[in-house]
Chains A and B, each alone.
Chain A
Amino acid sequence: MSSNTDTIRELAQQEYKWGFITDIGEDRIPKGLNEDVIRLISAKKNEPEFMLEWRLKAYRHWESLEKSQAEPKWANIKYPPIDYQNIAYYSAPKQKPNLKSLDEIDPEILRTYEKLGIPLLEQKMLAGVAVDAVFDSVSVATTFKEKLGELGIIFCSFSEAVQKHPDLVKKYLGSVVPHTDNFFAALNAAVFTDGSFVYVPKGVKCPMELSTYFRINAAETGQFERTLIVADEGASVSYLEGCTAPIRDENQLHAAVVELIALDDAQIKYSTVQNWYPGDKNGKGGIYNFVTKRGACRGKNSKISWTQVETGSAITWKYPSCILQGDNSVGEFYSVALTNNFQQADTGTKMIHIGKNTRSTIVAKGISAGHGQNTYRGQVKIMKDAAGARNYTQCDSLLIGDKCGAHTFPYIEVKNSTARMEHEASTSKIGEDQLFYLRQRGLKAEDAVSMIVNGFCKRVFRELPMEFAVEAQKLLSVSLEGSVG
């Protein structure tokens, strides 16, 4: 038994593999947040008036929340107070404006992507994936745009969308996550610097996976992404979001907002692999990830599916949700959340059933190792008119070792008596029996753990696009190194 514990300890001391800092010139503004900063951000991005006003409204709202100390405290996470005045709200890699080809991109940036194993160039093209790479807060590369353009699909940075498609932005921005939604959503609305924008026109099925990699690279720069995806009637699109980040001592705040809108018969699949720096083995450093992700199934027969594999960040506060407004619309949430060392995650989903015969599926797998604390928090709400609504929830926790924790908070609210709800939950521990069995067959201890965990997550991995599923499995194995128990 004791040597087992030693193995655990040894493996636990594995460092974050993808920690490095790229040295590139940066264009940034001083720390602090006030109306002038908002105006400066908006001016730097050359935004139309409506954007500035939208930002200012959000900022004023956030300021009032901050004054009344309305930062949400209900989540099962602990962190020191965040000094919002000690954060720089804008940082962009210096670059020539209006890039014509990838050759013009700072080679340092390209090398960073290579280190991360992100095949931005030929590899991705060969794989048929268009990449909108977000480096810090400004998009630096967009590929495959022409091919998508032929189909009328818009896939660009948020900044570009504001310039080129202001009507679409104006129509949909904040329509799912208004600036008044929550503290972090308000902050994001005020200061977001970039993100991705996707519009798939009526009846168009996007022929390739759209993919974005986010990086947080400037020390102490909060990253505020904003993504907006609209699938018009009968359209469908699959979007991949993935990231890793370099080692930092300071905690970094990340407060993204993602809005998805599916109109009649439209489908959106949104997959995330998240691997931000989780802090070292003593819990020092790491990203604070406060994200608001929500999709609106506005049209009848529409479908929104969230799949996430969360292995990074010191703190994760994230509830990708679906508002099932259209009749017969479908919402799905498949999640793997892993916490190791001193990571804390409070994550889950909300399924709000408004339309008739709306259906939702929730499959959440939480893995806790080390001193990790993993909370599933899910809300299923069946409104008065949602006749025939159905929900299936499966929520499983896996514990590795005896110092971690798993917590489950399901909220179920049913206002229509025709609703059908199913809820299954389980908590299990990787047993010495399982480990010994696999090791007796020749597998190393860490491979054995990895196999058990991958088996546990299989239901979720199945939902990921193929290449992402492979990546996710690797990521899980790497994140688990050091957790054999």
Chain B
Amino acid sequence: MGLLEIKNLRVRVGDREILKGINLKLNAGEVHSIMGPNGSGKSTLAQVLARRESYEVTGGEVLFEGKDLLAMKPEEAACEGLFLAFQYPVEIPGISNAYFLRSALNAIRKYCGLDEMDAMDFLPKLREKLKLLDMDDKLLNRSVNEAFSGGEKKRNEILQMAVLEPKLAILDETDSGLDIDALRIVAQGVNAMRSPERAMLVVTHYQRLLNYIVPDYVHVLVEGRIVRSGGPELALELESSGYATFEGAAAGASPA
């Protein structure tokens, strides 16, 4: 049994079908990358897996550790160990980053039947993760993502991932808006999180992130279908040839 099994997933928004039958299997310990042009359905896939309710699933099924993921609320999926690093992290004015992180961690611990962690135990853990991402302590006392730079927001997402230690991390265009230094730091953080117990799904438009986070598998998503899968070399191929060659292929491909 894979950690995540997506079977013939079809999703629509309004009367437009965005995902037209996605099949994908991730095992623990694997890093997969989904690449594709704008509008191919990459972010939709990420959001549907995280159980955003504004999408209508019209067919297929998704199993997360054998459980029906599509029947879960967003918080249930989160508590089961699914984490989404947002493309556009949201600001929560007036709530300190540290408080937010502890609340999230404790919500998940409670769901798992563990004792809540108090501030005394939590802070050292948090400090250690901060170091990993080369983040300033001051960010802990600032409101969640408020007045954070683009790079700080993305690093903050990875910090959350590091604290919450999910089984499956989905990174939605984590590289967008990052300069090369920030990209390197974020990638370092992500790489430090790679482990045999954890799977990652790295959604990206560009190959450059994959120079730093080298995936085990690359899938090309075009017009709502995975048109090709391969190893990390596929990303390099895309970099030189672009997505154009696949766009014709998508039109001809039959739903899997």
Which A residues are within 8 Å of any B CB, using their own CB? 1-4, 431-434, 436-445, 447, 451-452, 454-459
Contact = CB atoms under 8 A, between A and B. Distances in A.
A261 B93 CA distance: 36
Q: Which of A1, A432, A436 is packed against the most chain B CB atoms within 10 Å? A: A436
B75 A452 contact: no
Given A434-B90, A455-B94, A442 B79 contact: yes
A440 B78 contact: yes
A351 B94 CA distance: 27
A449 to B, nearest CB: 11
A459 B94 contact: yes
Interface in B73-127: 73-75, 77-79, 83-84, 86, 88-95, 100, 103-105, 107-108, 111
Contacts of B92: 434, 437-438, 451-452, 455
Given A437-B90, A440-B74, 17 more contacts: A433-B88, A433-B90, A434-B90, A434-B91, A437-B92, A439-B73, A440-B77, A442-B75, A442-B111, A445-B75, A451-B100, A452-B92, A454-B94, A455-B92, A455-B94, A455-B143, A457-B94
A52 B151 CA distance: 71
Contacts of B90: 431, 433-434, 437
25 contacts: A3-B53, A436-B52, A437-B92, A438-B104, A439-B74, A439-B78, A440-B75, A440-B78, A440-B83, A441-B78, A441-B104, A441-B160, A441-B164, A442-B75, A442-B104, A442-B107, A445-B75, A447-B103, A451-B103, A452-B92, A455-B92, A455-B95, A456-B93, A456-B94, A457-B94
B94 A441 contact: no
A432 B54 contact: yes
Q: What range describes how many residues of B lie at the interface?
A: 20 to 34
B162 interface: no
Contacts, number: 79
Contacts of A445: 73, 75
Contact of A1 (B53, B86, B111): B53
Contacts of B75: 439-440, 442-445
Interface in B186-242: none
A441 B86 contact: no
Contacts of A441: 78, 100, 104, 107, 160, 164
A437 B53 CA distance: 12
A10 B185 CA distance: 44
B223 to A, nearest CB: 25
Nearest to A438: B92
Nearest to A4: B53
A459 B94 CA distance: 8
Contacts of A434: 90-92
Nearest to B91: A434
A24 to B, nearest CB: 41
B50 interface: yes
A1 B54 CA distance: 5
Contacts of B107: 441-444, 447
Contacts of B105: 442
Contact of A440 (B84, B91, B94, B111): B84
In order of increasing CB-CB distance, the 9 nearest A-B pairs are A455-B94, A458-B94, A441-B104, A442-B107, A439-B74, A455-B95, A437-B90, A442-B78, A442-B108
